[in-house]
Amino acid sequence: MKTETTAGEKRAELYRMVTPEHICPFGLKSKALLERKGYKVEDYHLRSRDSTDKFKAEHNVETTPQTFIKGDRIGGYDALKKYFGLDVEDPDKKTYTPVIAIFAMAFLMAAGARFALTGSLAGLRTVEWFIAFSMCLLALQKLGELSSFSNQFLGYDLLAQRFVPYAYIYPFAEALAGILMIAGVMIWLAAPVAIIIGTVGAGSVFKAVYIDKRDLKCACVGGNSNVPLGFVSLTENLMMIAMGVWMLAS
C-alpha cells in the first residue's frame, strides 16, 4: 500500500465493492468523507464477488470497504469516522429525531396550507391543521410497518392487550380522524375517534412509564423506531384529546 503524502498532499487508498448488481453505499460514503477531509483517493473497485472474497481473505477482514492511509489499514466506514474523530451512529441509541421531524413537517405543512388559502399564518386553523397533519403523518409511519408497529404497540397499550385487533385498527382510526379534521367534515365522527384513541393511549403510556416505570420504545412513529416511550408519546395522545374536544365544542 503506497499512500504516503507527496508534497503535502494527503492520499488514501479505498477498496470498495462495485459490481453490476451492487454498489456498496458505505464505500461511497467512505470516499465522500475522505474527499471532504482533503484526501486524494485512489479508488479501487472490487468488481466481482470472487475479487471481493479474495481481497477479504488477503487482508483478513470480514467486510468491505476498507481504507488505507499511510500504509495502515483504517478499516470500514465506521472505523474511518472514528479515525477522523467523528461520532459513530449507534443503531440502538434512543432518539427523538423522527418525532421532531414529523412535528416540524406537520407545522410547516399547516402553515403553508393556511398561507395559500388566506395569505396569512395567523389563526387557530393553523394550529388545528398542525395537529391534524401530525396525526396523519404519524399514522402513515405506523401503516408503513403495520406488523412491527403492532408488536411494539401490544407491549404497552391497555386496550390492544385485551383486544389484539385494536393494534391494527389504531393507525387507520388515527388517519381517519386526522383527514376528517383537515377537511372539516364529519366532526361528529372524527372528534370522538380522536378522543377515544387519545384517552386510551394517554392512560396506557402513563401507566407503563410513570406507574410501572418500564423502559420501552414508543410505537408512535412505527415499530422500528428508537423513540423512547414517555413524554412525547403522552403529548401525541393529549393533542388528539384536546383536538377532539375543541372541534366538538366549536
Enter the CATH code of domain 10-83. Answer: 3.40.30.10
5 or 171, which is more confident: 171
H/E element, 42: strand 39-46
Cα–Cα distances (Å) from 78 to 53, 166, 238, in that order, read: 20, 41, 40
Predicted confidence at residue 94, as pLDDT, reads 75
Mean pLDDT of 24-32: 93
Residue 201 CA to residue 182 CA, distance in Å, equals 22
Is 181's pLDDT higher than 50? yes
* Residue 126 pLDDT exceeds 80: yes
List, as own/partner pairs, every contact residues 212-220 make where C-beta atoms lie below 8 angstroms and the sequence separation is at least 24, other chains included.
214/156, 216/155, 216/156, 217/94, 217/152, 218/152, 219/142, 219/149, 219/152, 219/153, 219/155, 220/99, 220/138, 220/141, 220/142
The residue among 66 and 217 whose pLDDT is bigger is: 66
What are 140-155's pLDDT values in tens digits?
Answer: 989 988 888 898 889 8
Instruction: Quote the pTM value.
Output: 0.77
For CATH 3.40.30.10, the residue range(s) in the chain are 10-83
What is the per-residue pLDDT across 77-112, written as a single tens digit (0 to 9) for each? 999 999 988 887 766 677 778 888 999 999 999 999
Helices 124-144, 97-118: inter-axial angle, 10-degree rounding: 140
What percent of the chain clears pLDDT 90, i.e. is strictly above it?
55
Residue reference for cell 410505537 = 219
Element of type H or E holding 173: helix 166-183
Quick one: pLDDT at residue 60?
92
Please, what is the average pLDDT of the chain?
88
pLDDT for 8 = 65
